[in-house]
Amino acid sequence: MSRSSPPLTPNERELFEALIVASQALLTVSRNAATVLSEEYESLITGPASVVEDVLNRCPTPSDQWDGEFHEEDCDIEYYTPDYPAELRIGREGSAARVTHRKTKLSVSAEQSMDPATNKTRALRTLQQRVQSYFRAQNPQPREDPLH
C-alpha cells in the first residue's frame, strides 16, 4: 500500500536537491577509492556504493540549471486574508494571493480584488515580468559590435 506524501516546501526541495548532488559526489569519490584499494577492501565500498547508486537512479534530477523561462509550475501560490481594517475585510477572506518563484526566490502579492483568481493572475503576471528582468540581469547578452 503506497502512502502519498505531502508536497515539499521550497526549503525542503532545496535541501533534497542538495542531498542528491552531495550523494552523487560521494558516490564518485567512493568508486574512485574502490579502484585504488586492494580487492580485499574493495567490496566494502562497492556494495554500499551500489545501493546508493540504485537510490540515486530513482531520484529526480536536481534542477539547478535554469533556462530563464517562467513557468507557473515553478511557483508556490499562497492565499491569505489581506490585513485591512475589519470593515474592509468583509468578503475578502482568503482572497489575496502571494506567488513565489522557487528558482529565484522572488515573490509578489496581489490583494486588490475580492476574487482570489484575479489576484493570482495579477501576481503571476507581475512576477513573470520580475523573473524575466532578473534573468536578463543575471545573464547579460553581449552587445554586437556595429563596426564588425
Mean pLDDT of 112-126: 96
What's the N-to-C CA distance of the chain in angstroms? 66
Per the confidence metrics, is the pTM higher than 0.85? no
Question: Is residue 70's pLDDT more than 80?
Answer: yes
Question: Is residue 2's pLDDT more than 60?
Answer: no
CATH code for the domain defined by 72-138: 3.30.160.20
Quick: pLDDT tens for 73-108: 999 999 999 998 988 888 899 999 999 998 889 999
How many Cα atoms sit within 13 Å of 143 on the Cβ side?
A: 3
DSSP percent split of the chain into helix, strand, coil, nearest 5: 50, 10, 35
pLDDT at residue 100, as a whole number: 96
Considering the chain, what percentage of its residues have pLDDT values greater than 90? 33
Cell numbers placing 83:
490585513
Helix, strand counts (H, E) of the chain: 4, 3
Question: Is residue 110's pLDDT more than 90?
Answer: yes
pLDDT at residue 1, as a whole number: 41
Q: Please give the residue that has the higher pLDDT: either 39 or 71.
A: 71
Q: Please give the residue that has the higher pLDDT: either 58 or 94.
A: 94
